[in-house]
Structure 1
């Protein structure tokens, strides 16, 4: 189990894995949480070893149930993700359009920004089956009303807990001995009146058979409207984006890319537009657009134009980013049910069984599939207004480039339905052997996720290409050109010119709903044994050992059209993940006391662990060596070194062909922004990642200032053979540098408006390395110590993480090292300060949290004049800054009833309605210009949010 917090009076009787004996002993190994434990309670954390009075050298942050309750957030992840040591976690806002990856709507933890797939999520110290093809766990589907605390281990823990714990562990500990009836009703919305949400939860627990048995049942239902159209927020109306500087040359000292407002398309409208360039033979037709009913009009271009986008002009107030459904947060419906029954078959033996089912339905809308300037419309197209066709013939043109936003088609979307089932059966007990009392915990777990992903209203490209090439039939009717040679092809012509010009049959012919059905399964068998087999001069030596076997599998099927080719659709998506693997491992861990109550050492303890892991790719050894030294009662010095391993997951190895869209700066075309289609797939030949973690820190708990605790820890994590994929820009840059393997991944259309396809797959890159500092301090005191005659307690708690550096080195010829720290997605600082007051009836909590500013990309060069020549690796921009942000939250809880059995609570997040920092989309920024100009994982994007509700316990 991740964290064993054991009361002195029960330490010798507790059994491995029995969370019921742990929940009353909530404390903090790094610095206490807001609600410190009562005197006499001793802490064991971050280790499988159970030992009275031992604190693990691995830093652990603890979030108590009281903290979670005071936050009054609708989802436990909303609060836990504010911890500075968690950075870049997946949330519904960051995954709203990930339909093809199965991650839509997921809340997944990310310790230190190293990756959700490198963070192991546990429930009561046991694995939880993954809910997507990469194995990530949606913590929103755990029984939230039963969570008594959340432990966050910020360090490599593979030796103790196995694969996926390379960056750390997040353990959700349940109150498995809860008795009574507990309920909650919650509702909330943003200050803009959108994203209305509600939650209803009910939990019941009771003993039976004279106290030998215990039964739990906990259910929850919640709904979130989502935000389909975010246009009423100031930061969306500004329409920030990046655009190529049309005045740039390699020698004039100007930046290659400009950051501007009012970004819109210059070559396409909802009713279509002729997309000729200013220097082409059809330049006189440039900007002719088509409105309702196909009426031509002249599109007014903005002052800065770099096809296919511009800044300003008549399109500025009609950007599809804001005026078409483009989800900030998906609509969500959740239903969760958890049941547990346990029974003491003997005084020292307990058997238990758990069952959990969850269902999530999400729906997002997004703007996709624009044909900005990639179509060619022929002069004989009968839908073309006669006057435009005449002008084309006068210029001897047989076709013109054309762009459209497909205004007649319904908005594209992403729908995901996920059903999750988890069953656990286990036994905890103790036995005597070799003159030692041993505790044992064994369990079997089966988990299954059934997932259906649907890309709604996608464009079916083969049909689209046939339908837009319309001609006159010999009888004068309008048909598809393909029908002339294949009269039974069923093609229905589509009118590109204007809005409101196509009937439903034409729309249905060119659109569809590609689907992907997947099933992910996990089987786990685990046995853990712990005891104190002998004693030395400084105390007993503790020992824990165990074995585990795990299988993971994925299977699925796509719709028949996608099975032929993912390129049949214009949307993100692809073929399912199909494959399986198994892992067997065995571990041993020990705690050895070297000194106790000496003049030079109050305590000195060594913690060591090793695990042998057999993957299908080979056998690997992980290890951990840590030490804790207390020279005096008030000071602890701790350090740890570990070697950790993460096996490639199902997605890494077996993902089917997956289609994305993006853009790159083309070094062969003076750095011009160019759109591209990306195709990714899994790589079954991947090797495991190898991580090395080093951390050292001090914990100060002065005896002269009761209730005060502080800690600081330095950490460094290095990963060799890191599993990752090159992005489109990196592949293009490598090709430009002469890497022929990279060039082989790029395909360009041979004729017509040029389009590019770039293929990528996960690789074992050279290395990733990160280092930083974690700070934490808390002070808890009684109010009457300041003002006699008053009541209640104050708790002040501050946490901060300084991400000093995070480098990624692909290690490929021609590639460059990227520094992530201080760039978009990983600010150099994350911090949180909370002040809490609580008396018998009232609890008030105020929180200040935030992130430091930075730049969008550390490899970009910011300059306004005198710029060096822009390159693919180091492009020049006039502004790459990202602003810092500080948010303030306030919550209040008031209790009623003789035993405070009723609670009314209220919460306001982001009180001052601070906008998120602008992180523009466009050339090499976000994948495509139509993405909203924000960084979703670090900033509040909703604005001020209100929530209120009632809780009861009977």
Structure 2
């Protein structure tokens, strides 16, 4: 069946691309320019310029880097860049959704625009994020990363920058490439095989390329590694085995009781009785992926070229979690025979104390781990499709144009298995005195004995077990056209003024359709959700100009002014304007100075506006719980909201939040300033230093910036029961937080600034296999000076400082120092290469933001980590290349964490988890 699918997709690719080229394109506008000058196009500007003359901080990753690094998934290579904050990837199980993303400057993947050949690609989520799994790695010519913002050039959602994948579109011949990658433990294998076919036709006037790929990634569970096989928590000043308070024997929070397998009751011991959920979770998600891409162009005349692109991606990524933790209130018959007489007496006495009939049902809040129901499973299947057709050509020697239309569609089906229906769970627990039947026998109810591990019958499992399905459909259409040319030179310059102007229309629409169980919130253990339906369109006008002001004068080798402006009329928020300007100054040939400013406006996306309400479980600290009460905590407010401060232990490190869209959201505004210096002191050496400062006002985020922030703001900062933060919190009868409502809002301010340093050196050496060789050294680094979040505009003094920190407020580690360096030596057919990656130390964010002493924390900081990757490449023949390598050759493991972790006792997207990996790749080209 898989072979048939691949065959059909390949044939479809050929046919659709041919159709895209031959069918007349609709009027549109371009992402590329015509021939202004004989220089390459650099992402970040539609005007052609050389790499080191980019107007914004710029990084380029060549095709060779993917080849020698053995990265099967492109997000892993991008995550290694110092300019990115690692986002969802192969280890993102919980949270996770099967996508792979890139997050520039840590400002959110939805503020980073991903392009293919300078044009928008297939959106994978309702936030507009592109799943990097859909981009064919073998076809990548190079990846350009612009991190100074690019909204005026590419659209308002490029606040953080742009990642542009330039693809091979002029391939000739047939090439087969394969890769196999396995850990030192012999597990977690990754394998893929690619075939690329291309050739010229019509006497060289046209070229067509078809690419097909199959990839497979095997699972690794947290239980397969020593550092992650036990969920750690903090107790008694040390890391100890912990886990969830929802346990197989059932915990009753009202009486702090649990039950043995024979139904006898005893006191719950914390943390000894907690359930170790770690072994059941993925450490590496399995994946199966099919990709088909094709590119074609045909020169209709010397001045007109038709071109087309087609892409199809089928991607399956399951997630697996421990069995359902059923935290809910149930009505219990005090006379049930499932537990002992002592506990029956306890329940009857509770009724008597409440002035009720001793034999009346008692409401209890329980935590029951449904191990008999099996692990929770979620399977995301994404089918993405994109077709593009366009024309480009020259009007005359000075002016050219580019028009295209693209249509992209994604269908994501999410299947949930081994869930528990909340209504049936509660129905089946309330049994008769004999325990032989449910008091409510509707729907074929079977008694559910949760009072002790292993006591649930298969018939009861079958009664409460449910599967759920939800489907997301996303469609994006882009109609674009641009014209570029030159207007002549100023009297003070030999270079002409280059301009680009154009129009673009974009329409985004999507729907999320949960089934009846999900939409009704009748599923325990997986997030309930409401339908999300919405769309918006944007009509945009943009222009860009580069003005060479002065050249060849004393003290002025060159001086130019660049500017861009984009006006966008959104159907949901109206008209907004983004603009950017930059100056490039070269006093002497070896030195270039660049400075730029950008103001951009980002409209809220479909998810932010219309996302149906759903539950999530982020890590958070309850300020009223024992061990969390500080001198800032308003204990009277704790009492006013139904709990005595310090009188209870927080049940779980994760606290439930209610998330959802807000149709009243307004746009967010950003201001970006960059200043850089590029020095080329000698042949083969270039040094680029760039400072960036990004400020986002009215940033779109969840209320208060998150569940943990809302709790902190309510009890430690605002201290007003009528504030929106306190109103968002509701509690259970045992004192624990039941849920925190954190729907989307325009919050306060996000500010970040830092310095990028990039050094590249290459030189010929007088020794080697053929008597000579070439040595190249690349160094890329980011020094993060500040990353500040102000979650409330009305409280400008309330700032979360996240540079150099991690934790429940700041999330993933944001190292102040982050660098990598690649050293490559090539001689004849042999290539030797080493990549060193360094992640600086980070501190728990409560130290700086909550004045908690480091000595009071079990793990106050995450150690700096250094990774070493080695590879050897050898050209066996003119057509056959082999590459062998070791990733994480030093077997570097992350610092274990307790309550401040994301998952797997660490932050798995940031740190290497699986130890050394060995890869072997081969490429053979048929002439």
Task: State the Cα deviation string for residues 430-465 of structure 1 (Å, max 9, x = none).
Answer: 103xxx621111110000000111222122111111
Task: State the Cα deviation string for residues 778-803 of structure 1 (Å, max 9, x = none).
Answer: 1111121x789732211111111011
For residue 219 of structure 1, give the secondary structure of its aligned residue in structure 2.
strand
- Residue 781 of structure 2 is matched in structure 1 by 800
Question: Is contact 1:585–1:612 with CA below 8 Å preserved after alignment?
Answer: yes
Cα gap change, 1:232 to 1:300, in 2 (>3 Å): farther
1-structure distance, mates of 2:534, 2:480? 23
Cα gap change, 1:20 to 1:681, in 2 (>3 Å): same
Structure 2 residue 317 is matched with structure 1 residue 356? no
Structure 2 residue 917 is matched with structure 1 residue 945? yes
For residue 532 of structure 1, give the secondary structure of its aligned residue in structure 2.
strand
Deviation at 1:932, TM superposition (A): 2.4
- Residue 464 of structure 2 is matched in structure 1 by 510
Task: State the Cα deviation string for residues 308-351 of structure 1 (Å, max 9, x = none).
Answer: xx2xx4x58x72223xx111222111111012222111112110
1-structure distance, mates of 2:415, 2:528? 9
Cα gap change, 1:20 to 1:140, in 2 (>3 Å): farther
- Residue 411 of structure 1 is matched in structure 2 by 375
For residue 160 of structure 1, give the secondary structure of its aligned residue in structure 2.
helix
Deviation at 1:184, TM superposition (A): 1.1
2-structure distance, mates of 1:767, 1:543? 34
> Which residue among 385, 404, 408 is the counterpart of 1:447?
408
- Residue 819 of structure 2 is matched in structure 1 by 831
Deviation at 1:230, TM superposition (A): 1.4
TM-score of the pair, normalised by structure 2: 0.86
Deviation at 1:364, TM superposition (A): 1.1
- Residue 888 of structure 2 is matched in structure 1 by 910
1-structure distance, mates of 2:104, 2:333? 55
Cα gap change, 1:169 to 1:527, in 2 (>3 Å): same
2-structure distance, mates of 1:665, 1:573? 23
- Residue 606 of structure 2 is matched in structure 1 by 650
Deviation at 1:16, TM superposition (A): 6.8
Deviation at 1:55, TM superposition (A): 2.1
> Which residue among 44, 47, 52 is the counterpart of 1:46?
44
- Residue 680 of structure 1 is matched in structure 2 by 659
Cα gap change, 1:500 to 1:237, in 2 (>3 Å): closer
Task: State the Cα deviation string for residues 125-147 of structure 1 (Å, max 9, x = none).
Answer: 00113111111101221122211
- Residue 592 of structure 2 is matched in structure 1 by 636
Question: Is contact 1:884–1:917 with CA below 8 Å preserved after alignment?
Answer: no
> Which residue among 530, 541, 549 is the counterpart of 1:575?
530
> Which residue among 496, 502, 521 is the counterpart of 1:540?
496
Deviation at 1:402, TM superposition (A): 4.9
- Residue 851 of structure 2 is matched in structure 1 by 861
Structure 2 residue 791 is matched with structure 1 residue 810? yes
Structure 2 residue 746 is matched with structure 1 residue 746? no
For residue 68 of structure 1, give the secondary structure of its aligned residue in structure 2.
helix
2-structure distance, mates of 1:394, 1:543? 84
- Residue 18 of structure 2 is matched in structure 1 by none
Deviation at 1:297, TM superposition (A): 8.5
Question: Is contact 1:77–1:139 with CA below 8 Å preserved after alignment?
Answer: yes
Q: How does 1:19-98 map to 2 (within 5 A)?
A: 46-50=44-48, 55-94=53-92, 96-98=93-95
Question: Is contact 2:729–2:737 with CA below 8 Å preserved after alignment?
Answer: no
Cα gap change, 1:754 to 1:717, in 2 (>3 Å): closer
Deviation at 1:375, TM superposition (A): 5.9
- Residue 17 of structure 2 is matched in structure 1 by none
Cα gap change, 1:359 to 1:268, in 2 (>3 Å): closer
2-structure distance, mates of 1:752, 1:632? 72
> Which residue among 373, 377, 398 is the counterpart of 1:437?
398
- Residue 4 of structure 2 is matched in structure 1 by none
Question: Is contact 1:19–1:173 with CA below 8 Å preserved after alignment?
Answer: no
Deviation at 1:117, TM superposition (A): 0.6
Question: Is contact 1:602–1:633 with CA below 8 Å preserved after alignment?
Answer: yes
TM-score of the pair, normalised by structure 1: 0.84
Unaligned runs of 5+ in 1: 1-14, 26-39, 246-257, 279-285, 866-875
For residue 608 of structure 2, give the secondary structure of its aligned residue in structure 1.
helix
Cα gap change, 1:430 to 1:933, in 2 (>3 Å): same
2-structure distance, mates of 1:860, 1:755? 21
2-structure distance, mates of 1:779, 1:441? 36
Structure 2 residue 900 is matched with structure 1 residue 932? no
Q: How does 1:392-407 map to 2 (within 5 A)?
A: 402-407=366-371
Cα gap change, 1:259 to 1:169, in 2 (>3 Å): farther
Deviation at 1:502, TM superposition (A): 2.8
> Which residue among 553, 560, 574 is the counterpart of 2:516?
560
> Which residue among 724, 728, 751 is the counterpart of 1:769?
751
Question: Is contact 2:859–2:897 with CA below 8 Å preserved after alignment?
Answer: no
Task: State the Cα deviation string for residues 895-944 of structure 1 (Å, max 9, x = none).
Answer: 111x2x111111211112111123323xxx358xxx42211232112222
1-structure distance, mates of 2:505, 2:600? 18
Cα gap change, 1:834 to 1:691, in 2 (>3 Å): same
Task: State the Cα deviation string for residues 670-696 of structure 1 (Å, max 9, x = none).
Answer: 255255432111011111111111011
2-structure distance, mates of 1:423, 1:587? 24
For residue 481 of structure 1, give the secondary structure of its aligned residue in structure 2.
coil
For residue 811 of structure 1, give the secondary structure of its aligned residue in structure 2.
coil
- Residue 31 of structure 1 is matched in structure 2 by none
- Residue 342 of structure 1 is matched in structure 2 by 297
Task: State the Cα deviation string for residues 558-592 of structure 1 (Å, max 9, x = none).
Answer: 112223x2254331241242100001111111111
- CA RMSD, 1 decimal: 2.9
Question: Is contact 1:20–1:176 with CA below 8 Å preserved after alignment?
Answer: no
> Which residue among 214, 217, 222 is the counterpart of 1:224?
217
1-structure distance, mates of 2:768, 2:216? 45
Deviating more after overlay: 591-600 vs 659-668: 659-668
Q: How does 1:323-334 map to 2 (within 5 A)?
A: 325-334=280-289
Question: Is contact 2:887–2:916 with CA below 8 Å preserved after alignment?
Answer: yes
Deviating more after overlay: 902-911 vs 234-243: 234-243
Q: How does 1:602-751 map to 2 (within 5 A)?
A: 602-616=557-571, 617-662=573-618, 663-667=620-624, 668=638, 669-670=644-645, 672-673=649-650, 676-702=655-681, 705-725=682-702, 726=704, 727-736=706-715, 737-738=719-720, 739-749=722-732
For residue 664 of structure 2, give the secondary structure of its aligned residue in structure 1.
coil
Question: Is contact 2:769–2:827 with CA below 8 Å preserved after alignment?
Answer: no
Cα gap change, 1:479 to 1:45, in 2 (>3 Å): closer
For residue 289 of structure 2, give the secondary structure of its aligned residue in structure 1.
strand
1-structure distance, mates of 2:51, 2:145? 20
Question: Is contact 1:73–1:907 with CA below 8 Å preserved after alignment?
Answer: no
1-structure distance, mates of 2:728, 2:30? 52
Unaligned runs of 5+ in 2: 1-28, 625-637, 639-643, 807-811
- Residue 507 of structure 2 is matched in structure 1 by 551
For residue 179 of structure 2, give the secondary structure of its aligned residue in structure 1.
strand
Cα gap change, 1:781 to 1:169, in 2 (>3 Å): same
Cα gap change, 1:290 to 1:19, in 2 (>3 Å): farther
Question: Is contact 1:20–1:175 with CA below 8 Å preserved after alignment?
Answer: no
Q: How does 1:438-477 map to 2 (within 5 A)?
A: 438-472=399-433
1-structure distance, mates of 2:43, 2:860? 42
Deviation at 1:522, TM superposition (A): 0.2
> Which residue among 592, 599, 605 is the counterpart of 2:547?
592
Structure 2 residue 484 is matched with structure 1 residue 530? yes
> Which residue among 839, 850, 855 is the counterpart of 1:851?
839
1-structure distance, mates of 2:277, 2:551? 68
Deviation at 1:861, TM superposition (A): 3.5
Cα gap change, 1:478 to 1:62, in 2 (>3 Å): same
For residue 561 of structure 1, give the secondary structure of its aligned residue in structure 2.
helix
Deviating more after overlay: 616-625 vs 488-497: 488-497
